[in-house]
Structure 1
Amino acid sequence: MQHIITPDPINFYAEQYTTPEDTVQASLNRETHAHVKGAQMISGHLQGVVLQMLSQMIAPIQALELGTYTGYSAISLARGLKAGGKLHTVDIDPYLQEMRDKYWKEAGVQDRIVQHIGEAATVIPKIKGDFNLVFIDADKKNYGHYFDLLIDRIPGGGFMIADNVLFHGEVILPKDQQSNTAAYIHEFNKKIAADDRVEQVIMPVRDGLMLIRKK
């Protein structure tokens, strides 16, 4: 099942008039869907281009991704790094690393990406320096915790992007009809909206992206 909020015809139209998916990411997309469990988690064409353009606009010297999966979104984010910049990406699954490395090399971004394997909350304090851009696409229960761990390490004018913030549309349902995961996401959305250190916008792209800017 794809995690897409917009109706299929609208999503198809948007993809049709968006810069085409390049051959490397298209191949990674196909291989993920053919061989990897949970393929609905991949960012895919439309969201991948959005992430790449946001990264290109921000031009981070150091970026952080929580949730690598097969490495598709890492390619998009790494392409926007400032010259000499690094993307640190964190995942608990070491078994997809051969696949990630293969496609990162093909995309020409392997030297810009540092892979960390482990629980994000444990890994984050071990990475030195601040982050101009953070992409959160890991376990939904801990989104708020990751925000708290990272907000002081993002300089003024820096950005976070949180994925799945509309969670299949369940966030608008009455609480007793929400899944546990949707409830976690709704609490995260409320937490961000109430924090006067940031400003934010939810974009109904794929399963919902929240762009958060530190003031």
Structure 2
Amino acid sequence: MQLINDELEQFAQSLTTAEDALQQEVHRYTYAEHAEPHMLSGHLQGKLLEAISWMIRPEKILEIGTFTGYSALCLAKGLQDNGELHTIELRQADAGKARSFFDRSPLKDKIISHTGNAKDIIPALPHTWDLVFIDADKPGYIDYFNLVLPRVRQNGFILADNIFFHGEALEAEPKRKSAKAIKAFNEYITANEAVEKVAITLRDGLYLLRKL
């Protein structure tokens, strides 16, 4: 299912501030070298993440799912001077490549990389989060949400990516495991009274959740 009209998306990109040089390089590398380039946040969503971070001015950001590092580079821009972004990636190769990009950023000292299972790493991080971005394995979404919610400050934000899952989450009975998991996550969040929610129709769908 094509969710976003290509011509409209290209027009929106033309109206949007361009990526910086390092973001452009991550974008090019991912589409040229990675087996799953569709997982990249990309220009429009990246700029939205960046804008949200600037609006919140977080001290502590948690990202679950580093991939090649694009979204972390966007989110880190709005950090306070003493801020930190902790990003977790299960796959060693992706974590290493992302770190190589982070090390070339002026924000490199604010980005802390963790490699391994997020369900093990999250409880060991002794922080209260201002902003959390969930963009990892879809069957883990509900668990990740429940792990981070108690540590998100009141009126802090959680972002969850891919809530449309290529349109499959709109189906009454999705067939693929990840689509089923996203549909269950959406239903779980819709019924959850601990957060205020906005579903954003950008790219593959983005949930914006505010802790009440």
Report the TM-score range of the alignment, normalised by the length of the smaller protein: over 0.9
2:180 corresponds, among 178, 183, 189, to: 183
Deviations 1:98-153 (A, max 9, x none): 43233223331111100001100000011111100000000100100111111110
RMSD between superposed Cα atoms in Å: 1.4
Deviant stretches of 4+, over 3 Å? none
Question: What percent of counterpart residues are identical?
Answer: 40
Instruction: Please give the secondary structure, in 2, of the residue aligned with 1:54.
Output: helix
Q: Which residue of 1 aligns with 2:137?
A: 139
Deviates more, 1:95-104 or 1:83-92: 95-104
2:178 equivalent to 1:194: no
What whole-Å deviation, never above 9, does each CA across 1:26-66 have from its counterpart, x for those lacking one? 11100111112211111111110000001111111111000
Residue 214 (structure 1) aligned with residue 211 (structure 2): yes
**1:4 offset after TM fit, Å?**
6.8
**Residue matched to 2:5:** 7
Alpha-carbon contact 2:53-2:75 (below 8 Å) kept: yes
- Cα distance in 1 between the residues matched to 2:197 and 2:143: 17
Task: Give me the whole-angstrom Cα distance separating, in 1, the residues matched to 2:106 and 2:34.
Answer: 23
1:77 match = 75
Deviation at 1:96?
3.2
Residue 23 of structure 2: aligned partner: 25
CA gap of 1:132–1:25, structure 2 versus 1, over 3 A, is same
Equivalence for 1:46: 44
TM-score, normalisation: structure 2: 0.96
Greater shift in the superposed pair: 4-13 or 134-143: 4-13
- For 1:149 and 1:34, the matched residues in 2 are separated by 35
Instruction: State the partner residue of 1:66.
Output: 64
Amino acid at match of 2:24: A
Aligned pair count reads 212
Whether the aligned pair in 2 keeps the contact of 1:56 and 1:81 (CA below 8 Å) is: yes
Aligned twin of 1:166: 164
In structure 2, list runs of 5 or more residues that go unmatched.
Answer: none
In 2, are the aligned partners of 1:32 and 1:39 still within 8 Å (CA)? yes
| TM-aligned CA deviation for residue 196 of structure 1 | 0.9
The aligned counterpart of 2:97 is: 99
